[in-house]
Structure 1
Amino acid sequence: MKELETKYLERLSDLYPTIAAASTEIINLQAILNLPKGTEHFLTDIHGEYEAFAHVLKNGSGSVRRKIDDVFGNTLSSRDKQSLATLIYYPKAKMELVKKTESNMEDWYKINLYRLIEVSKRAASKYTRSKVRKALPKDFAYVIEELITEKAEINDKESYYNSIIMTIIRIGRAEEFIEAISGLIQRLVVDHLHIVGDIYDRGPGPHIIMDKLATYHSLDIQWGNHDVLWMGAAAGQRGCIANVIRICARYGNLDILEDGYGINLLPLATFALRTYQDDPCTCFKLKGPEKPNKAEMEMDLRMHKAISIIQFKVEGQIIAQQKAFHLEERALLDKINYEKGTIMLDGKEYRLLDTNFPTIDPKNPYALSEEEEDIMERLERAFTGCEKLQEHMRLLLSKGGLYKVYNNNLLYHGCVPLNEDGSLKEVELFGKKYKGKKLYDALDSYIRKGFFALHEQEKQNGRDAMWYIWLHPDSPLFGKNKMATFERYFLAEKETHVEKKNPYYFLLENEQVVDTIMKEFGLNPEKAHIVNGHVPVKRKDGESPIKCNGKVMVIDGGFSKAYQKETGIAGYTLIYNSYGLLLVAHEPFESTEAAIQKESDIHSEMMVVKRVLERRLVGDTDIGKELKEQVKDLESLLLAYRSGRIVEKL
């Protein structure tokens, strides 16, 4: 061990070659440990609603407005504060509007530059100068640093700052400077972003959200069931591909595939129009907004039906191949009596609402027709060959996982599979049994195998595992006894539509169960919290997002417009700053245009979940633990230098 320690310290001495260098770094790290912890921002179940997402990201769930209030208190009117907030969120668009009505732009620039500088000073105050310097926009880094840094040696500070600001205005760079400093404020008010699952499906812009996340300064992602579905599609898993297209068709969002990712759907459209041209496809009504173009609506309906039938066939093939999934009862096409137009489920016969199945051979119902096979081959190549989609999946893989433990919070999207008595449910996966954390780790590993495994069977199992995660009763990202897609399309009887939830969802108020989950993931139940997405909280029905005496926070409040009638709000987000935990309930977002022109922010209500008695410092966080370890190692290096065990590299 002594030899290994010496080797490690020798490597460390390459970075800190002298006593002075090691000492300086210890002082720097100790200073960071005593700064207030950075603000963490939690979002979940965004479901493609890119405008609302972008706005919440810009305002930091109210963090920008709180910073403005901290700086100006009662010295600015509420209207002026809102104008300043809108300028920070949308600087370019806001200035274009102002120029149409403002007669003296020089004064306007001067007033707002001073205000923005004061806000940025306050936002930067909880970071080291080094960290702020790294966040500064390149073109104005030196100037902004001068303006936000207190200079004790200058007597007439007002004159000094005023001369810099007037020069910025005089040389015609005020607008660019305002854009730069507004971006800096947005960057500084949130130190780290957590996305607790479901970026994809339902809304029109998941690809736009992914582009935005790719440039975000610090984030992690806990995969949701819809994200894993898209990952499976990108890996070429046919069941996932068919589900992705079906959901896009159902919500009127096929543009995501065609325009967002450049995936050619023309072969599917041609096939659907020809095969179902006389079929009204009434069971496949779209959930998205009505399209003004009737022909386009009719085409989407037919494509919706065509890909749904293909999906049921493909899924039947997967069930036959992966017998270890034990999903035989969910292969339904062989349970149809095609002559009578009925299906047998759980020993009961039901009449189908739609009996037009021109591509199904009753003797071999899961076989794709020649044209369907050709379509699936093309789609498989399109999904696996789309560079933009693969780039987005690489982001999910590099920044994501099925769960995360961070600063005493356990983050995951769905549920921890439980038995009725609240104990961890044992699940079989490819011949091995797992439960709790080990189940999450195994599934996470299989997802990565689906992309990177060298052995073909391992890779195929990984791909099929993504489909398993999407709909299996034992999946922590699904957590229901079945996915009743077929029944919802084809059967009128509501009892067939019921998807029974895992006991987890009924035991969230049971402190013993919640404590068991926390311990399973290595957390102290007295200090920890679970942050959970996936199931919308129906606030209009009186449901609270805060469960189990504040130990669990379910923060899916309906970001997706499709859910807002059920929930009564437009999403919850969570803020964890140095003072504690704040849960924010958002009203629906009108539009970006309204946010700029009317200065209408998302109206939000805040609930204090936990207020700490002493302000949390960096030293109290997971990063703080790492920094303390670095200090410890550097102190060992100092001792080695001073004892002569390691020689300084002067």
Structure 2
Amino acid sequence: MVLDYERNQSLRNDYSVDEFKHLNLLAEKFPTVQSVCSEIINLESILNLPKGTEHFLTDIHGAYETFSHVLRNASGMVRKKIDAVYQYALDEKTKRQLATLIYYPEEKLEIITKEESDLEGWYAVTLLRLIEVAKVSADKYTRSKVRKAMPEDFAYIIDELLNERNAKKEQYYNSIIRSIIDVDRANSFIIAISKFIQRLLIDRLHIIGDIFDRGPHADKVMDVIQNHHSVDIQWGNHDILWMAAATGIRASIAGVIRISARYDNLATLEDAYGINLLPLATFALKTYADDPCDAFMPINTPSENRSSTQAKLTSKMHKAIMILEMKLNGEIIRQNPEMCMDDRLLLDKIDYEKGTVTIDGRELELTDKNFPTIDPKNPYALTPEEKDLAEKLRFSFLNSERLQRHVKTLFSKGSTFLTYNSNLLYHGCIPLDDKGDFKEVTIHGKKYKGKELCEQFDLVSRRAYYNRERQDKRSRDRDYMWYLWSGADSPLFGKKKMATFERYFLNDKDAQYEASNRYYKLRDDKETCMRILEEFGLDPEKSHIINGHVPVKVGKGESPVKADGKLFVIDGGMSKPYQKVTGIAGYTLIYDSYSLILAEHAPFESRRNAIQEEIDIVSTRSMLERATDRILVGDTDNGIDIKNQIQDLNRLLEAYRKGVVKVKSVK
């Protein structure tokens, strides 16, 4: 290829060697002038289609049923499409049933097929209705894109039904419907087209962090994300904790287990991920045999269950792993003075005889004074039993196939931040100093701030995970991956301390207070948000920040819209433990070709009620911004990529016509 280039010296002024190589590779895919022209025409037409609909969700915290329902109903978009087609033609009950059928086709069909007296008639009517809803859901996409979204088994049939109905072909159209019923494929077709509708209505899904902890089914949420057709994730501090645990970081493993015990979710570790907690249970029963561990009872344990054997065992395991976590945290902090986390070294501040701890010059009485595994002279030293326990747990986390699969998904689809279609997405904050400037943070002896800081933490985390079996200098990467969970200058955390010890062992509210980074005061300021957008290479006049992490207290009048519409906080408390704080059950930010819309969700009762009683999530939609002109694909990041492809194809077309690149096919 290079020789061909060198034979014709006159080409040097028009094509570099690298471009010549690139054009020849492109010619393998488009081997004729006709194929190049067809692709240019196709891509040019795509640029003029409306942009796809993006959905933004955050802080799922294991709330699988709510998360799943929000995806199935596309944050209310399914019902909106049904109303668009059948606003006056169908009554409310029929529209509710049709919507529920699209959300949960398998389960709803099982009920309907048992109850419906004229099943064939119901099939005929329902198939026609689903096709009409599918049509309006697909109307802004190319036929090629719609075809790719179709379930393979029924792609040809759905394609025909979506595109071939007219007066001349009515008999043909009806015969397809009739045949689907006659060959006993109606149920399979309904399931396929319902999932097809769901997929069309969410063109891109953005998860703004914190999939894990608190709720019981983060594993099921991850299964959905792993199989989603188009998704990205901005890591939250709870996500990075699990990612660090899967990396084999012992302090993070202890943190994952502690939070799971605190929220009574140890079953997720054992049943969903196959983590062997028997060594911890054995150690806890032996070490804390006579300790009631009352302060470590799982949150919200009903009073009638507090005396149960399981609750008592969980409490002992909870305390045992918490003390182990404090020791392991201390090991990392003492090895990394540049982290500036000495204020989190508290085990050496305890007077074990008096039962007090000194914090910020104040001597405070401990609520729990039993520390059988701590040597007051060397409080961060692990006992032989703790060392053995830590290694057994590490082995279990490193060898959990499902956990490793989910964490690889978090790495492949995730990052610390994302810029996408003029929006800046991140979970926590961009650390600012007391003056409001981007705060400099030292990592491996070098200072970073703003965008560079986020990029460096991203790089460190990837290196730590993919070198997890190496016991060399990469171990410091593992330390900084741990830091992202609770470090004072972590962009995923954003508080000056995580007061874990204080919450467990003190009744002092001042000691338990976790001061936030300056960012959380200044994110209401438009100028600050515009500086952040500029830092990440976005046009501050046209762009927005989309943020999670800190629940919006809607019940107290707090607004998710900050800085005159430059920043949106969309943590509305999807997880039940947060709903008392927020007063709602989550937000979805929807960005379609016309506008930015915020959907505020009421609490989801249950999957069972949604299916049997056809009770949907009640969502209140608020328009945040409306575009003057409809936003087209050409206005998006995808549009930039397409324009670059068109530019390359035009160069190839030119090269074909000049005879510079040989036409690869005579067809």
TM bucket, shorter chain: over 0.9
| Cα offset, 1:237, TM superposition | 0.5
Farther off after superposition, 406-415 or 504-513: 504-513
Assess if the C-alpha contact under 8 Å between 1:286 and 1:301 holds in 2: yes
| Cα offset, 1:7, TM superposition | 2.3
**Aligned residue for 1:216?**
228
**Aligned residue for 2:271?**
259
**Aligned residue for 2:616?**
601
Matches within 5 A, 1:247-396: 247-290=259-302, 292=305, 294-396=308-410
3-state SS of paired residue (1:457): coil
Amino acid corresponding to residue 643 of structure 1 in structure 2? K
3-state SS of paired residue (1:467): helix
Farther off after superposition, 4-13 or 102-111: 4-13
- 2:467 pairs with 1:467: no
Which digits, 9 at most, give the CA deviation of each residue in 1:47-81, with x for residues without a partner?
A: 00111111011111111111112222322222222
| Cα offset, 1:458, TM superposition | 4.0
Q: Give the Cα separation in 2 of the matches to 1:210 and 1:254.
A: 17
Q: Give the Cα separation in 1 of the matches to 2:66 and 2:509.
A: 33
Structure 2 runs not aligned, ≥5 long: 1-14
Q: Give the Cα separation in 2 of the matches to 1:596 and 1:455.
A: 50
Q: Give the Cα separation in 1 of the matches to 2:621 and 2:232.
A: 24
3-state SS of paired residue (1:156): helix
Assess if the C-alpha contact under 8 Å between 2:596 and 2:624 holds in 1: yes
**Aligned residue for 1:420?**
434
3-state SS of paired residue (1:531): strand
> How many residues end up aligned between the 2 structures?
648
> Share of identical aligned residues, percent?
56
3-state SS of paired residue (1:277): coil
Query: Structure 1 residues 81 and 289, CA, compared in 2 at 3 Å: closer, same or farther?
Result: farther
Amino acid corresponding to residue 517 of structure 1 in structure 2? I
3-state SS of paired residue (2:472): helix
- 2:596 pairs with 1:584: no
- 2:557 pairs with 1:542: yes
Q: Give the Cα separation in 1 of the matches to 2:628 and 2:174.
A: 40
Which digits, 9 at most, give the CA deviation of each residue in 1:120-165, with x for residues without a partner?
A: 111122211111111111211111111111366xx53322211111
Task: Say which of 522, 530, 536 aligns to 1:515.
Answer: 530
3-state SS of paired residue (1:179): helix
Assess if the C-alpha contact under 8 Å between 1:580 and 1:612 holds in 2: yes
Task: Say which of 590, 599, 603 aligns to 1:575.
Answer: 590
| Cα offset, 1:505, TM superposition | 0.6
Amino acid corresponding to residue 645 of structure 1 in structure 2? V
**Aligned residue for 1:22?**
36
Amino acid corresponding to residue 271 of structure 1 in structure 2? F
Farther off after superposition, 205-214 or 100-109: 100-109
Assess if the C-alpha contact under 8 Å between 1:449 and 1:458 holds in 2: no
| Cα offset, 1:456, TM superposition | 4.0
3-state SS of paired residue (1:575): strand
**Aligned residue for 2:544?**
529
Q: Give the Cα separation in 1 of the matches to 2:245 and 2:111.
A: 43
Task: Say which of 125, 135, 140 aligns to 1:126.
Answer: 140
Q: Give the Cα separation in 2 of the matches to 1:599 and 1:490.
A: 46
| Cα offset, 1:285, TM superposition | 2.7
**Aligned residue for 2:462?**
448
Q: Give the Cα separation in 2 of the matches to 1:431 and 1:304.
A: 36
3-state SS of paired residue (2:82): helix
- 2:648 pairs with 1:642: no
| Cα offset, 1:4, TM superposition | 2.6
Matches within 5 A, 1:620-631: 620-631=635-646
Amino acid corresponding to residue 189 of structure 1 in structure 2? L
Q: Give the Cα separation in 2 of the matches to 1:361 and 1:548.
A: 51
**Aligned residue for 1:139?**
153
**Aligned residue for 1:116?**
130
| Cα offset, 1:288, TM superposition | 4.5
**Aligned residue for 2:3?**
none
Amino acid corresponding to residue 580 of structure 1 in structure 2? S
TM-score, length basis structure 2: 0.95
**Aligned residue for 2:106?**
92
| Cα offset, 1:265, TM superposition | 0.3
Which digits, 9 at most, give the CA deviation of each residue in 1:246-299, with x for residues without a partner?
A: 000000000011001001101101111121122121221311454858111111
- 2:163 pairs with 1:156: no
Task: Say which of 56, 61, 70 aligns to 1:47.
Answer: 61
Q: Give the Cα separation in 2 of the matches to 1:52 and 1:608.
A: 23
* Alignment RMSD (CA, Å): 1.3
Amino acid corresponding to residue 141 of structure 1 in structure 2? A
Query: Structure 1 residues 411 and 458, CA, compared in 2 at 3 Å: closer, same or farther?
Result: farther
| Cα offset, 1:592, TM superposition | 0.3
Which digits, 9 at most, give the CA deviation of each residue in 1:494-528, with x for residues without a partner?
A: 10000000111111121111110000000011100
Q: Give the Cα separation in 2 of the matches to 1:439 and 1:141.
A: 46
Q: Give the Cα separation in 1 of the matches to 2:21 and 2:391.
A: 54
**Aligned residue for 1:437?**
451
3-state SS of paired residue (2:55): strand
Q: Give the Cα separation in 1 of the matches to 2:96 and 2:564.
A: 35
Task: Say which of 164, 171, 181 aligns to 2:183.
Answer: 171
**Aligned residue for 2:93?**
79
| Cα offset, 1:459, TM superposition | 2.5
Amino acid corresponding to residue 652 of structure 2 in structure 1? L
Task: Say which of 457, 463, 474 aligns to 2:472.
Answer: 457
Task: Say which of 559, 570, 575 aligns to 1:555.
Answer: 570
Q: Give the Cα separation in 2 of the matches to 1:73 and 1:611.
A: 24
Q: Give the Cα separation in 1 of the matches to 2:191 and 2:553.
A: 39
3-state SS of paired residue (1:257): helix
- 2:202 pairs with 1:190: yes
Q: Give the Cα separation in 2 of the matches to 1:174 and 1:385.
A: 43
